Structure 1
Amino acid sequence: MSIPPRMEQPSALVRFLNLFTEVRPGEAASSVLLALNVYLILSAYYVLKPVREALILAGGGAELKSYAAAGQAVLLLLILPIYSWLASNVSGRLLINSVTLFFAACLLTFYTLAQWQVPLGVVFFLWVGIFNLMVPAQFWAFANDIYDPDTGKRLFVIVAFGASLGAVSGSYLDRLLLGHVGVYQLMLVAAGILVLSLLITNLVAAREKLWQRPATVSTSRPGEPAVAEDSIGQGGAFALVFHNRYLLLIALLMLVLNWVNTTGEYILGRTVLETALAASADGQVSTEQFIGEFYASFYTVVNIAGLLLQLFVVSRVLKYLGVRAAIMLLPLIALGGYILVAMFPLLSLVRWVKTAENATDYSVQNTVRQILFLPTTREEKYKAKQVTDTLFVRAGDVLSALVVYVGSSWLALSIAGFALFNTILVACWLLLAYSIGSHYRRLAPATEDKESTA
């Protein structure tokens, strides 16, 4: 009688991670390292936020800050072709290392200039806006490069948790460090965090043998010749997006999503201000205190809700409903929310609509938009993702600012009017999401068909 082979028992880490998503033996270490990697990147950004605000507000005021935000979109038009050229002419290893070290070196330069009392407000604000988009986009391109669609859909739940945790704990880290090291020294702290994140990137790449893999057809389109795994390709970033319907739809989705969300933030802010002015007129509380207490509570609830959704809901949505349904979830929530706000523009309702929208955006939507690039080519991951996650995101900000200016200055729109405008935008968003989900199913039929029968 033969004895069946002994089944390998999953490690304690695998068993723990399986509380949140399906993790198989051999997958836990790299997924946790990737989560730590993006946690550090987000932490570096949040360490820099108070420096950015101090420099821009002290150097030019809130108006200059608003103008500089629009300038980031123009600057990206110049930077992205340079990044695309670099990606076409160096290996993936050199691209990631050189770009990350460049941003770290910029921080050392800014710190030196600050010691010489050189005005940095506008330049540093623009730089942080570029850094906050390009470095995370490059990280997610790297993570997409490691996993196939089936594995990535499972493990990105863990990786994205690192991003959520970095956003939540980053503000606490600011308060902890600011009183001990000062404003400008935070630049050095962020540079050190970036270098540490780069070490983890290279460690994960070595574990997964990412830059030593042989050529495979998975990095090219069906019918095209296989390419070396560490070769990114010679196409232009903008051409990749505008000549590929799937990528263009993703780019438009990012634009509309950010347009809706930023306009929603205006709706919330205006509602809070009007309520605060009414409360201060009654002598209940000062305007500043009301606004400060409101946003402190609001952000706390949003961050906690986002973390809980990331841990316990995202993997279940992806497993049982699939990407096609998951990508529709946020616009459906936004549609119902803004319809209600258009009818009942009350602070309590606006607050919970934005809480649901932001928490879902930070968890379900953030994970899904990274998954969308899993079935794309290596070149599309590194180049096209930079365009969709930077330029089109900033374009959404610019369009929202234009809508707010026209709606408040020329049309005298009420809060309900802006909510109604957002409702129309969300309807377009739903159409884009449905179309992207259909394209994704054709690109990764095995993973979607598997979930539909679960």
Structure 2
Amino acid sequence: MSFLTRLLNLRPREAPPVLAGLALFFLLFTGYFMLRPVRETMGVAGGVDNLQWLFTGTFVSTLLVLPLFGWLASRVARRRILPYAYGFFIANLLLFAALFLGQPENPWLARTFYIWLSVFNLVAISLAWSVLADVFSTAQAKRLFGMMAGGASLGGLVGPSAGILLVAPLQHSGLLALAALLLAGSIGAAIWLYRWRDRNPLAQHERPAEEERHVSLGGNPFDGAVEVARTPFLMGIALFVVLLASVSTFLYFEQAELVAERFPDPVQQTQVFGLIDMVVQALAIFTQVFLTGRIAQRLGIGVLLVAVPLVIAVGFVWLALAPTFAIFVVIMVARRFGEYALVRPGREMLYTVVSPQQKFKAKNFIDTVVYRGGDAISGWLKRALDLLAELPGLAMFIGAGIALTWAGTGFALGRAQQRREAENVMAEAKAEKGALT
């Protein structure tokens, strides 16, 4: 066991919470990735030329959801935000399952589900990371977040496989009901993590913050947006997310066009999307479990945030010069593998040096409204560039420029996080000295 803990870079009594974090993400992502190919198929069914409308609808829906989440976060204890939110999502999934059972070919139901899953995706994943940022210290996050993100990749591997195998016998309605059951399991894992932290508190001067987990954050539903607007560090994270969303959207539109052209059958489309998901997650697991934490510890969070954007910038140029399906798949896999294994854990580590209000409210605002806003704007931009038929590679060259800006923003955030962490360590040292005297 000691060899295994050294191999995984664990400290005493950290194995159980790491397993709980793995379970939280595994169950959440298994359900989501089981449904993701269904969403992509429904997006293609509505017409590739209409994708920008679905992105805009998703952004508008996210704006409507923001005050609801803000109200919940302001009224209930931090440790109960995830169970309440996930419980609401479970009810939604069961309702969609019943509707698809009765109207499987309804195009408006398909579009509604596409938008709903796109909103659910960001809110649910953001909230899971908020719980981890609330439970673990910054030092623990650097070592453990990548490993726990491995649960997301494992779920991303199992989910598409389950979708491919079960979509024929269960149909879409059965997959939704199964996803609801998995989401209920995620609630149990989050509750266990908070109870573990209760039994294993942090240092004495940090305990008041731990006790605050039993009370609500207070404030109003729009505090998240206000926190972002007045905090340069959070503004930097917001810019990073907009650039990430823009790169993802450019590649997503290319994916929809190329898949619709090569695979006209909806069942084949679902299987292709699922296969891409499986390859991405398989590549990500090893990196998350064995490398991400060590990279963050030894080279800093900035390396996690910069490496992938630089690779994607090269990929965009390559795709502009040789726009084939095989090359696109290589770039798409590299982008998503890098995001899951490096960018996402690094981005979430940034939130360990901010206040609880910012970990939940501001983080949710950035991960939902800001992200989907970037989606909507870049979706229309990509559509406009595609209409310039005489310049087919223009969108890819612009994407390369966005990716380079994304890399520069990641570098600046890594430096800012280091400064904040050093300030927090100094403050903790002063607090300990004061307690001793």
TM-score, with normalisation over the residues of structure 2? 0.84
Distance 1:272 1:195 in 2: 33
Q: Indicate the residue corresponding to 1:280 in structure 2.
A: none
Whether the 8 Å CA contact 2:153–2:282 is kept in 1: the answer is no
Is the Cα contact below 8 Å between 1:76 and 1:390 reproduced in 2?
A: yes
Please state if 1:228 is matched with 2:228.
no
Alignment of 1:240 onto 2:227: yes
Q: What's the counterpart of residue 130 of structure 2?
A: 141
Report the secondary structure of 2:307's partner residue: helix
Pairing partner for 1:419 from 375, 389, 396? 396
Q: Is contact 1:50-1:183 (8 Å) kept?
A: no
Moved more, 119-128 or 370-379: 119-128
Asked whether 1:16 is paired with 2:7, we answer no
Q: Is the 8 A contact 2:154 2:282 kept in 1?
A: no
Q: Which runs of 5+ in 2 are unaligned?
A: 427-437
- Give, in whole Å, the separation in 2 of the partners of 1:81 and 1:288: 40
> CA 1:190–1:349 in 2, change beyond 3 Å: closer, same or farther?
closer
Give distance in 2, aligned partners of 1:332 and 1:448.
31
Residue identity opposite 2:352 in structure 1: L
Q: Larger C-alpha radius of gyration, 1 or 2?
A: 1
Counterpart in the other structure of 2:435 = none
Q: 1:122 aligns with which of 111, 133, 139?
A: 111
DSSP-derived class of the 1:25 partner: coil
Alignment correspondent of 2:142: 153
CA contact (8 A) 1:215 1:228 kept: no
Match of 1:83 in 2: 69
Aligned with 1:437 (options 410, 414, 423): 414
2:199 and 2:359 map into 1 onto residues whose CA distance is: 14
> Displacement, 1:115?
5.1
SS of 2:165's partner is: helix
Residues 418 and 117 from structure 1, CA distance in 2 versus in 1: closer, same or farther, beyond 3 angstroms? closer
Q: CA deviation at 1:62?
A: 5.0
1:323 positional shift: 0.7
Per the TM alignment, residue 142 of structure 1 is displaced from its structure 2 partner at its CA by: 0.4
**2:356, 2:189 → 1: CA distance?**
21
Aligned to 1:95: 81
Moved more, 339-348 or 125-134: 339-348
Look up the match of 1:27. Answer: 14
- Please list the CA deviations of residues 35-74 of structure 1 after superposition, one character each: whole Å capped at 9, or x if unmatched: 111110111212333554566666x555566522320111
What are the residue-to-residue correspondences of 1:12-411 with 2, within 5 Å? 12=1, 15-19=3-7, 21-49=8-36, 51-52=38-39, 60=46, 66-114=52-100, 117=103, 120-209=109-198, 228-231=212-215, 232-234=217-219, 236-267=223-254, 299-343=277-321, 345=323, 349-410=327-388
Q: Is the 1:149–1:447 contact (alpha carbons within 8 Å) kept by the matching residues of 2?
A: no
Is 1:428 matched with 2:405?
yes
Rounded Cα–Cα distance in structure 1 between residues aligned with 2:391 and 2:260? 16
Alpha-carbon distance, 1:446 to partner? 8.0
CA distance 1:191–1:424, shift in 2 (3 Å):
same
CA contact (8 A) 2:27 2:186 kept: yes
Matched residues, number: 418
Structure 1 residues 444 and 404 mapped into 2: Cα distance closer, same or farther (>3 Å)?
same
CA RMSD after TM alignment:
3.4
TM-score, normalization: structure 1? 0.81
What's the CA shift for 1:145?
0.4
CA distance in 2, matches of 1:212, 1:314: 26
Structure 1 gap ranges (5+):
1-11, 221-225, 277-285, 450-454
d(CA) in 2 for partners of 1:241 and 1:46? 30
* C-alpha distance in 1 between matches for 2:57 and 2:292: 35
- Deviation at residue 149 of structure 1 after TM alignment: 0.5
Q: Percent identity?
A: 24
TM superposition shift of 1:17:
4.8
Cα pair 1:327 1:365 within 8 Å, conserved: yes
* Bigger relative contact order, structure 1 or 2 (CA pairs below 8 A, ≥6 apart): 2
**Letter aligned with residue 254 of structure 1:** V
Give me the whole-angstrom Cα distance separating, in 2, the residues matched to 1:214 and 1:89. Answer: 28
Counterpart amino acid of residue 214 in structure 2? D
SS of aligned partner of 1:372: helix
